[in-house]
Amino acid sequence: MGPRQSFHDNLNNLVTDLLIMGDLVEQSIQKSVTALKNQDLQLANEVIEQELIIDEMELKIEDKCLKLIAMQQPMAKDLRKIATGLKIITDLERIADHAHDIAKVAIRLGSEPLIKPLVDIPRMAEKVQLMVKKALDAFVQENIDLALEVCKDDDEVDSLHNQIFRELLTYMMEDPKNISQGTQLLFVSSYLERIGDHATNLGEWLIYMVTGERKELND
């Protein structure tokens, strides 16, 4: 087995690592919002523990990427692929951070009665989780159309965020007792909106990897 063969094995390993990390991150989003909705503190604590594992994975994959670059001196598209890997893990880790933030809100609220049944927040969570999944599929398939789709999905997430924001404000204005929890839920909605932005970034990195051009798809 020549050194190039082993280089491409290493690249394939890198893709596998990214997918494992991505899978954990997707789970964290889903679990964090389920914990919030069902006031399930055990599940919230799982998310918090999972974030430590995801952080570790980021550092390990990063080390691998840097060593791969240093030892194999890849050029052009291979270098871009590894550089894309470095960017992807950064965005995945930020997404996990936000899932962790949501889990912390779930813990903060504890068993205090929710001011309203949560419907739109779980729907938003489902959408952003799907965006992350699509973006990673787009990366594996080097599928630019799929990456562009992720970007379109983000518009829906943004308008859902606006809608949730307005609705929560009305609850808070109706009764001052709703203000404290209302602000917590506003934060949750803004964390999910951020997750959508990071998923869009994932799509952008993929386009860079394939074309060599940086393109800003959201602002």
Least Cβ distance, residue 125 to its own copies (angstroms)? 20
Least Cβ distance, residue 154 to its own copies (angstroms)? 16
CA distances from 201 to 26, 34, 124 (A): 16, 25, 18
Q: Which is nearer to its own copies, 134 or 181 (CB)?
A: 181
Least Cβ distance, residue 150 to its own copies (angstroms)? 20
Q: Which is nearer to its own copies, 20 or 59 (CB)?
A: 59
- Interface residues with its own copies (CB under 8 A) are 59, 62, 66, 69-71, 73-75, 79, 82-83, 86, 90, 94, 169, 172-173, 176, 179-180, 183, 186-187, 190, 214
Q: Which is nearer to its own copies, 38 or 73 (CB)?
A: 73
Tell me how far apart the alpha carbons of residues 167 and 180 are, in angstroms, rounded to a whole number: 15
Q: Which is nearer to its own copies, 58 or 153 (CB)?
A: 58
Least Cβ distance, residue 38 to its own copies (angstroms)? 25
